Amino acid sequence: MNKKPIRQGDVILIPTEQTEGQLLTHLTLAEGEVTGHKHRISEGQAELYQTNDTLYLKILSQTATLSHEEHQTISIPGGNWMVKIQREYEPRGWRYVAD
């Protein structure tokens, strides 16, 4: 596997060999806490799985489009991806980056 991680705002997609968990009925990877805008797959064929606190994205088509109202759309190559939300350190500890 020679894919590299892909980042859009606070969402990072990491190439993985696995997808597991419960199949979700939506393709929203993350929702903004402040604006309510969504990081979501808007074009292409994909499935989203959840296991505990981890999301796995499976792109079934050759590519899919990741969209967000405040970020440039990104083409995601087919395959399996782990979805992570970026965190940053503050004096009080780690926190998730708000989008």
The DSSP-derived string for the chain is: -----EEETTEEEEE-S---SEEPS--EEEE-TTT--EEEEEES-EEEEEETTEEEEEEEEEEEEEEETTEEEEEEEEEEEEEEE-EEEETTEEEEPP-
Mean confidence (pLDDT) of the chain: 84
* 92 against 85, higher pLDDT: 85
* Cα 55 from Cα 22, distance rounded (Å): 9
Determine the pLDDT at residue 35: 67
pLDDT band at 1 (very low <50, low <70, confident <90, very high): low
Taking only the tens place, the pLDDT of each residue in 68-81 is 877 789 999 999 99
Residue 56's nearest CA partner among 84, 87, 97 is: 84
* 1 against 3, higher pLDDT: 3
The least confident of 28-37, 55-64, 88-97 is 88-97
